[in-house]
Structure formats: structure tokens, C-alpha cells
Amino acid sequence: MTVPRWTSTVGATTLMTARIAKRPVRWILAVFGTLMGLVAIFVVHTIHRSRLVLREHLHAATVILETFPPEAARRPAIFEPEEEGNAWDLEDQVLGVIVPYGPRDPDLHDDNRLLLGGRTTYESKEASDVEQVEGQVDTLRHALRRRTALPRMRPGIFTDQAAMDVGGRLIASALRRHREGNDLEAAVRLILAIGLAEDVSRHGDYLHWHDLAATEQRCASVASQVLSAHSLSAADLGSWATWMDRLKRARPTLPSIIAIDSALSRKDVIEDFAGIAVPLNAPGPYLAVTWRDLWSRTLAKSRSVLDTDRAARALSEQARRPSWERAPSDGSESDVGSCYTPDVRILDIDAASELYLLLWRVSIALAWYEAEQGRFPESLGQLVPRYLAKEPISPRTGKALVYEGGKLGTDPGPGTLESITEKDGPNPDLFRWEVGRTKP
């Protein structure tokens, strides 16, 4: 007679229960020890995987920070005639003359991507500051005649500060030239200021890019004054339009800036924030280790690095869309809530900068048309194709600009503008431009 298999199972279970009943403590300890062993194996495996993640991200970040892709080092020559050579050699020379204090290397960089603003503006420049930069204008013009802008090492915080200082002096010089009636030289200095900021930011992080946006805004503010009462000929305006078109093609792309900033952020976390520029008496950056990480710094670092990488990739995806299709920020921090994560407000600032540059370029086209035709066009469509490549639309809304008789404007669109609007500047409303000539 065959015994059913289930009876064997029941019998084994009954026997095991009897043994446990006789020695409960031993069996409880055995089960507890087994569970603890499994937990230990899980923790060790998780930490090992986290170390592999950190090693992989450190290698990837180092590659990004220590290499300069050809597409980032090459840009159009802004001025003519085109020259051979590296623009960075001349630009670095100018920075050394104007701002001789402090090293201009990448040993230190800013740790707080969310702290926007606080830079030196052109209104605070003294006459001696402007005179000093005048001696470097020709050198910078030669730099912008070159197609290559390749630094020996990645720009750090001191290079950024020096470039902002030189840019502020150039903007102040442009304003002075306009008041003296030399509007072409004013235009040249505005182009030089933006060109220098572009060459620094194309290899820099979020801080460098934000200062490029600030330079563009301040240059647009002066350009609006120049174009509202200018003395430029049609040939001068044509040259200015060509320079602006080349600057637009040379402008660094948001995804490349986000990639560099994300690499810096991840490298900072992995290397315990070595090389961070920390103000005096500041607590400095730190990594909070919580129960989620089992109080392991390795697990905490891995979580922070993965969060940063995930946020940067999502931000890059948005940056590749047309500006008006991007999700506007609400002025708050990134969803990850870390100052080591690229800030979503970069999308608002980028779209606003593009809008300022567009209004600036269209205003040049209007002045150019008026200089040749003796009147303003009836619509912006009449500027195409000689004065503009295509009919302009707002980068923030995707809608046509508002135009009537030399007056140009647009709806600012959604998003946060506090960090990019210079409320006390000479032209706080850069969304409305008016083109006109000086009276003879």
C-alpha cells in the first residue's frame, strides 16, 4: 500500500513542532540568527553596490570635467577678419591685466547653485575702471575673431569673478560711449562683454552660465538705451545685426551646462566636498545621513548622487524642448530639495535671456530698416528676409511679438522673473523697446 506524500509532510511538521516545543529558546535564537545573517548579507550587498555606483559616477564626472568636447571649444568668429589661434589665450591675458589678484583656476567653485545674483553691476564702476578696460578692447576684439575658445583647465570661481568684473567695465564703457554719441563703439563693447561671458561659461557650471545670463540682461538694458536714441548708419546697424547673429550661434547650450554642473555636484558629494568655495564663518556643505541610509555615508552618498543625476537628466530633457513648451517653475527649489542639484529656475532664466536677445535683435532690424527705407515697417513680416531670417516669436510664450511704429513689446509669459529682472536698473522693463534716432 502506497503512503500519500502529504502524510509524510504532516509527520515531518509534527516532529519539528515537537522539537521546537522541547527547546524553544534554541530554535528562536536559530531563527533570529538566520534573519540577522540575511539582513547582514543584504546590507553588505547594498553597500557594495553603492560603492560601485559611486565609482562609476566619479569616473563619468571626471571624464566630463577633464575633457573639452570639440563642439564646445569651437564657435563662430564674431568679428572679421577671422584669425587663427585660441581666443582663450587672449581673454585670459585680459583677465590677468584687469583683475591681477587671485588665481584663475578650477581649484575652487561655488557650492550653492540656488544662490542667484549678488554680482557687480556696471553702475558701480568708476571712471578709472572704465579707462583700464579701454586698453584691452583691441585684444578682446582679436579674441572674438578666433573660432577656438579652449582653456588649459576648466574655469573656476575666480575666473568667473574676473570675467564679470571685466564685463561690467565694458558695459559701463558702452554706456559712456553712447552718451558721447559714438554708438558703434558702444555696440562693439556690448558684443565684447557677451562674447567674453560666453567663452567663460561654455566650459563652466551653473554659476558661470547664470553670470552669462546676467551679462546678457545688463547689455540688453544698455542696448535699449542706445537704440532708443541712436546715431548709427545702415551699414553700422547691419554689422551689429551680424555680430548678434553670430553670438546667438556661439551661445552655450543648456544641456551642456547642466551636464557640467551635475558632474561637479556628484563629484563634490563623492569626494566629501573637497575644493568647495566656502565663505568665512560658514558651516559649509554637508551630507545628511538618515535612517533611510542605515546611517551609512556610502549609502547616503549613493542616494544623493543618483538623485542629482536623475534630476539633471530630467532638466536636460526639458531644456531640449522649445522654451514655451517647458514646464514653468514656481520659484521653489528642485524636487530633490538639495542645493547640489541643478536648479529648475535655469529654464525661466534661459527663456527670459533668449527673449531679451530677441527683442534686442529685432530692434536692430527695425532701426536698420528705418535707416535704409526712411520709415518703420508696417509689420515685422516686412523685415524678412533681409533684416531678419524669419518672423520672430517669443521664446517664453511661442506667440508673435507686439509691434507698432517702432515700438516693440511682448507678454513676459509664465514663470519666475525676480532673479533676472533688474528692478532698479536704467530700464527695468526689458519687455518693451522703442527704436528712435537722435535729433540732429
Query: Which tens digits make up the pLDDT trace of 413-433?
Result: 665 555 445 444 444 467 788
16-61 pLDDT, tens digit each: 566 556 666 666 777 777 788 888 888 788 888 989 999 999 999 8
pLDDT of residue 176: 92
Check residues 166 and 153 and name the one with the higher pLDDT. 166
Model confidence at 99: pLDDT above 90 = no
**pLDDT of 133 over the 70 cut:** yes
Looking at residue 432, its pLDDT comes to 84
Q: Can you give the pLDDT at residue 125?
A: 52
Contact 185, 321 (CB under 8 A): no
DSSP structure class, residue 116: -
Task: Say if residues 358 and 392 touch (Cβ distance below 8 Å).
Answer: yes
Whole-angstrom Cα distance, residue 359 to residue 216? 12
- By the 10 Å C-beta count (0-12 exposed, 13-18 middle, 19+ buried), 56 is classed as exposed
The listed range with the strongest mean pLDDT (215-224, 271-280, 423-432) is 215-224
pLDDT (average), residues 260-272:
87
For position 104, what pLDDT does the model report? 55
At residue 5 the predicted structure's pLDDT band, cuts being 50, 70 and 90, is low
DSSP string across 345-371: HHHHHHHHHHHHHHHHHHHHHHHHHHH
276 vs 380, higher pLDDT = 380
pLDDT at 101 over 70: no
Coil/strand/helix, residue 402: strand
Which pLDDT value is given to residue 191?
Answer: 97
Q: What is the pLDDT of residue 77?
A: 95
Amino acid residing at 121: T
Of 336 and 409, the structure prediction assigns the larger pLDDT to 409
- Residue 53: predicted pLDDT: 92
Report which of 288, 306, 285 is spatially closest to residue 296, judged by C-alpha positions.
288
190 or 272, greater pLDDT: 190
Reported confidence tier of residue 291, pLDDT bands at 50, 70, 90: low
The whole-number pLDDT of residue 426 equals 40
Q: Which of 347, 349, 348, 359 is nearest to 320 (CA)?
A: 347
- Which pLDDT value is given to residue 383? 93
Backbone dihedral region for residue 402 (phi beyond 0: left; psi -120 to 50: alpha; all else: beta):
beta
